[in-house]
Amino acid sequence: MRINFWPGLLLALLAGALFPLAFAPYSQGWLAPLLLAVLFGLWHSAPSPRFAFGQGYLFGLGQFGFGVWWVYISMHQYSGAGVLEASALTVLLVAFLALYPALAGWVAVQLCEHRAWVWQKILGWPSIWVALEWLRGWLFTGFPWLEVGYSQIDTPLAGFGPVFGEYGVGWLAAFTAAVLQTVWQRRQAGRWMAIAVLLWFSGWGLKSLSWVQPAGEPIRAALLQGNIPQDLKWQSETQAWILATYLEMTRRHWDKDLIIWPETAVPAFYHQVYDDWLSPLAQEAKAHESDVLVGVPVVEASGRYYNALINLKNGEVYYKRHLVPFGEFLPLRMLLGFIVEVLEIPLSDFSAGKSDQALLNAAGFSLAVTICYEDAFARDALVGLPQAAYLVNVSNDAWFGDTAASYQHLQMARMRALEGGRYLLRATNTGLTAVIGPNGQVIAQAAPFVRTSLTASIVPLAGATPYVIWRDWPLLLGIMAVLSQMLIQRVDYTSLRARINASWKSK
C-alpha cells in the first residue's frame, strides 16, 4: 500500500501532532504504537531515505510543536523575552528536536530496502527509533521529553520498567508499532503478532512481581506546596512573606519524621537567611526530631553558586548535578551568548555539583535526591540505588504555568520510581506535588496552584530491581547487534569483492 506524496507528508505531520496525546495529562498510551505504526508505514512506502527524512521531520514538528510548546511560557512570561524573541526561540527548539525522528527515518530506509526481510523492519526500526531517543537523552546534556516509553506507564508494558527501564519499554512499544505496520502491509507477520501479544501479557504478569523488600518502619512525611507565583518569587519585598509562609507550614507538621520544601523555596542565598530564619528552624527540627529538607541556593567563597537541598537537622547538603540548559547554565556560550541578552532568568548561571556526592540521610534512612530536571534521567535519579531506601524530588514547574509540562514531568518521575522500585516523594512549588509508589502509581497528589501540604506514610525499601543492576546495557547491546546485522545484510559482497579484486589487479 503506497500513499501519494502530499497526503503522505500531511499524514506524517498529523500523526506527530497527535503523538503528545499518548502522554500526560491526556494519557492515551495506546495511541503511541498506533501512531508510530503510521510513521513506519510511511517509511515503508518512502521512495528514498531523503523522503523518509522529510516524513520523520514533519512527524517531529508535530510531536514537539504540540508537545513542548510550553517553553514559550517560560521564556515570555517569566524570562523577559518578548513575543517575537520567545516565539523564535521556541520554533528553533522544535525545529532542532524534529531532527531526531527525521534522522531515524533516513537511517531506517537507508538500511532497509523495500525487499528487506521482515525481521529487519520489525526489529530494526524500533531499534533505530530508540537509539535516536537515547541519543536525544544524552546529546547537549539531553532532552528526554516525549520519549515513547513514558507513554506506557499505565499500560501492561510498564511491567518491563523494573527490568529494562524506560528505553526498554519504549522499544517494546515501537516493536508493537512495527508489527502492526507489517500486518497493515499484509505481509507474513502471524508469528510476530503472536510474540507481540505474548509480550503485552508478560508485561501484565510482571506487574505482580515485587523486586524489593521493606527495610524498616514506615516514614511519616509532609510535602509542602507553597504556591508562590513565579513573578513574585524573586522580588526583595516578598522574601520575608515567602519564608514566613514556609515556616508556618512546617510548624504544622512537627509530628512527621520528614518535611520537604520545594526546589529553591528560599528566594535568597542560604547564608543570607540562615541567622534570622533557618538557624532557629533547625533548632526546632532537632527538638522535635524531624528532618527538614529545604530547597535553597548556596554560594561558595569562590563565587560559584549551586541549586541545593539541605537537611537543616544534620546539615547535609546535596548540590544539583544536571543543570537545565538556558535555565541554569548557558551551553556553547561562545556561540549562544546572545540568548543571555534575551532571557532574564534569576540565578541563571549555576555550577553543577560533583557526581560522587554522598547520599543524604533523613528519617533514619539514606535517600537519593534529584532536583527538578534531574528526575527526567534515570542515570541521575537512580545513582544512589540500591543503597537509598527511598527517592526525593523537589521541583518548581511554575515556570511553565498551567500547561501539560508539569503533568509530563510527573509522568517521568513515575517511571523513575518504577525503574528503581522505590517510593518517591515529590515536593513542588505550584504542582504537581505527589507521593509515588514503587510500582510507578501515584498514591497521593495535591491539587495544583493551591497552597497546601501533602502528607503520607511510605515504607523504606531495600534490594534492587534488575534495571538498577544492569541499567540500559542489555538493551543497548541488543540494539547494536540488530543494527550491526542490518549493516551486514546491506553490504553487497559481490560488488565489494569485485572492487577489491580490481584494486589488486591495478597494482
Question: Using one digit for the tens of pLDDT, what is the confidence trace for 127-180?
Answer: 999 999 999 999 988 999 999 999 999 999 999 999 999 999 999 999 999 999
SS3 category, 361: strand
Q: Note the pLDDT tens digit of each residue in 70-122.
A: 999 988 887 777 889 889 999 999 999 999 999 999 999 999 865 567 888 89
DSSP H or E stretch at residue 458: strand 452-458
The residue-averaged pLDDT of 486-490 equals 84
Is there a catalytic annotation at residue 112?
no
- Helices assigned H by DSSP within 154-189: 161-184
pTM for the whole structure: 0.94
What is the phi/psi pair of residue 258, to 5°? -145, 130
Options 121, 256, 313, 372, the catalytic residue: 372
Query: If you average pLDDT over each of 3-12, 320-329, 446-455, which comes out highest?
Result: 446-455
* CATH hierarchy code of domain 213-468: 3.60.110.10
Whether 313 sits among the annotated catalytic residues: the reply is: no
Question: Residue 354 catalytic?
Answer: no
* 363-392 tens-digit pLDDT: 999 999 999 989 999 999 999 999 999 999
| Cα 444–chain centre separation | 21
Q: Where are the domains of the chain?
A: 5-209+472-496, 213-468
Catalytic residue among 133, 147, 166, 263: 263
Instruction: Kindly report the number of other CB atoms within 10 A of residue 194's CB atom.
Output: 11
> Can you give the three-state secondary structure of 336-391, one letter per residue?
HCHHHHHCCCCCCCCCCCCCCCCCEEECCEEEEEEEHHHHHCHHHHCCCCCCCCEE
Is residue 336 predicted with pLDDT exceeding 90?
no
Catalytic, out of 166, 316, 320, 328:
320
